[in-house]
Amino acid sequence: MLSVDWLRHHPQHCALVAEWLYHQFPYEFSEQPLADWQAEFAAGQHNGDWLMRIALQNGQPIGCAGLARDDLPLRPELGPWLACVFVLPQARGQGLAERLIEDICQTAREQGHTRLYLHTHDRAEYYARRGWTLLEEFEAWGDRQYLMGREVARRAG
């Protein structure tokens, strides 16, 4: 059975999800040991730095997406951020990432935010097809990055 919930409700999976992200986005953690990231990530589930949604299949995590207070040190004036979108390879192709992303957009809207940001080095077209707008291109972590935004406020009328 598939379900989606807040990671903070499943703290037993926090270290595993943090490890996925550490290996999926290694360029962002090049100077941080895994154990330090896991501790920071776990604390973020309660202090608002990282509000993560996880997809669970029969009680086991298979994907995640987060609402991050700050996800791009080069642009501290921007936020909040859609961050840490990841689905296990065997669970891809079923619309799970899109469901998690939409959950995060809805959460941002419910919190009163009108816009979300993200950065990606390899999925700009994926996000553009889902309503995200390219704001700028920049170099970071030895690669071209794409800064994107999306309006999440409810439209009047």
pLDDT 10s per residue in the chain (157 long)? 899 999 999 999 999 999 999 999 888 888 899 999 999 999 999 998 989 999 999 999 999 999 999 988 889 999 999 999 999 999 999 999 999 999 999 999 999 999 999 999 989 999 999 999 999 999 888 889 999 999 998 655 4
- Helix, strand and coil content of the chain, in percent to the nearest 5, comes to 35, 35, 30
Structure token pair of residue 103: 């959950």
Domain with 113 in it = 2-151
74 CB burial (10 A radius; 0-12, 13-18, 19+): exposed
pTM of the model: 0.90
Cβ–Cβ < 8 Å for 103, 53: yes
For residue 153, the tally of other CB atoms under 10 A from its CB is: 11
- Residue 156 is assigned to a structural domain of this protein: no
The domain tally of the chain equals: 1
CATH number at residue 62: 3.40.630.30
